[in-house]
Amino acid sequence: MSDVLNTSEIRFSSPDGLPEEYKSLLVRMLSIQSRIESEYMLAADRTLMKPLALAPTPEDKAEYAAFWSDEVRHASYWMKLLSDLGVTVDEKFMSSPMPIYVFEMRDQAADWIEYGLFSFFADRQGAYMGYEWVGCSYEPLAKIADRVHKEELGHAAFGYRLIRRYLQREGERGRELLIKHLARWYPAGLDMFGQSGSKRQYDYVKWGLRRRSNEQMRDEFTEEVNTLLTKLDIPIPDPTVGRRFS
């Protein structure tokens, strides 16, 4: 890193008087999170009603509703943090393109198993990001990060349970369908961490808004996901196939 900044010394307790570069990185990072998660609050037809109708058992429906309710609260966190920084999450904000394509895949899901895959991959990535913010340099974000991190871990575990239940219920047909879907969801999951060579990730690290690089996070994520797939006796897809970023 070029600048000699000790991240442990950087602390901002409020939105007032933030350095320009820091503020712009913070707004960018929170905007990505808010664009993604505000859909739970603002597009309940897609993020609640559709999956509730697809969920095959009362247990699946109840777990999905609890997950959705956490996400609506997360949306409120990002909205408040952004509003304090002068950014309003309104219709115009929400009309910007989805920053991560796995969220579009969720909306196109035709089968319940895809909601399991979504939480298995996307909420797990959410947990990785939440972990980056625990103890981060922007105190209003650090204050909620621990809770967000723990809840995202819970959502990732929900995704795993949902897949396991599906496999138990559907047998060989379910297994084949899961393997077929994984060919799309596995690369999308790894792609969530962005380009390994992007410059901005190091700016985030420099300012104490993140700790790990994209590549480091993706490697840890891949190992975790592979271990879980092996536990389900599902073959691990080739991590280089179908990828848009690396």
Scan residues 73-92 and list those touching Fe ion (CB under 5 A): 74
**Candidate list 123, 132, 191, 203; residue touching Fe ion; CB under 5 A:** 123
Helix (H) or strand (E) holding 182: helix 139-191
Residue 114 binds to Fe ion (criterion: CB under 5 A): no
Locus of tokens 């996901």: 225
Single out the segment in contact with Fe ion by CB under 5 A; choices: 65-73, 92-100, 107-115, 169-177: 65-73
In the three-class reduction of DSSP (H, G, I as helix; E, B as strand; rest coil), residue 138 is classed as: strand
Give the C-alpha distances (Å, rounded to integers) separating 122 from 72, 192, 229: 16, 8, 15
Single out the segment in contact with Fe ion by CB under 5 A; choices: 14-22, 43-51, 67-75, 173-181: 67-75
| Min dist. Cβ of residue 199 to Fe ion (A) | 27
What is the per-residue binding string for Fe ion in 155-174, x denoting contact by CB under 5 A?
Answer: x-------------------
Give the chain's end-to-end CA distance (angstroms, integer). 21
| Min dist. Cβ of residue 37 to Fe ion (A) | 5
Single out the segment in contact with Fe ion by CB under 5 A; choices: 71-79, 85-93, 95-103, 158-166: 71-79
Cβ count near 185 (within 10 Å)? 24
CB nearer to Fe ion: give 72 or 85.
72
DSSP E strands, 75-208: none
CA dihedral (182, 186, 192, 197) in degrees, to 10, reads -150
In the complex, which residues of this chain contact Fe ion (CB under 5 A)? 71, 74, 123, 126, 152, 155
